[in-house]
Amino acid sequence: MIPGAVREATARDGDQIVYVAPDRLLDALRWLKETPGQEFDYLVDVTAVEFRDRERPIEVVYFLRSLKRRADIRIKVELQPSDELAVDSVWSLWRGADWLEREVFDMFGRHPDLRRILMWETYAEGYPLRKGFPLRGRFSRAEQVRQALNANPEAHYSLEELSIAEAGGDLPDDMRDRLRRGERGVVPEPPNP
């Protein structure tokens, strides 16, 4: 492995778990993907974990698989909650990481493509999987429904992305008509609390 990248390596319940320094993450994952004998060529998932114990770091977890060797490994990066919660994107290694990383952003925060994929674009309550997030949210259920119904997803995607959705028949009729006319929606202003 890359010198100075590994902080700790353990085997637990048959799983290989390697803790990597945040600033060496991309180098370590590139080495795991491209080195003969390693060849972890499939990014299965990216997630994050925030523990109840506030003293413990937040972990960003990468699940990798070597299809050729039929081997799995988990790479973990620990981020102190008091520091910047950011790691390098692995999109340059696995194009599919974009959606996985955006899901982590949607629930925990921080990604270079700040378009939401799970919550509506104007969602302003925070990050639902963070421990400090209230169980019932910050707004009433009626306000949450109102915001969701006022969301305008077409304002956040390129015409190319929308045309791909149209080809699959996934767009509502009114969106499809606007797309044919070359029109885009607009992002509504968030309500004043």
pLDDT tens for residues 123-135? 666 666 666 665 6
Alpha helices in the chain (DSSP H): 25-34, 97-108, 141-150, 159-167, 173-180
Give the mean model confidence (pLDDT) for residues 150-156: 64
Listed residue (109, 79, 77) closest to 90, CA to CA? 77
Give the mean model confidence (pLDDT) for residues 143-155: 68
Has this prediction a pTM greater than 0.75?
Answer: no
pLDDT digits (tens, 9 = 90+) for 19-68: 999 889 999 999 999 999 999 999 999 988 888 787 788 899 999 999 99
Q: Indicate whether 172 pLDDT > 90.
A: no
Structure-model confidence comparison of residues 131 and 6, the more confident one:
6
What was the pLDDT predicted at 13?
76
Q: Indicate whether 71 pLDDT > 80.
A: yes
CA atoms within 13 A on the CB side of 68: 9
Which domains are seen in the chain, by residue range? Answer: 6-118 (3.30.460.80), 152-184 (no CATH)
Listed residue (6, 27, 25) closest to 16, CA to CA? 6
Q: Give the position of tokens 């169980």.
A: 135
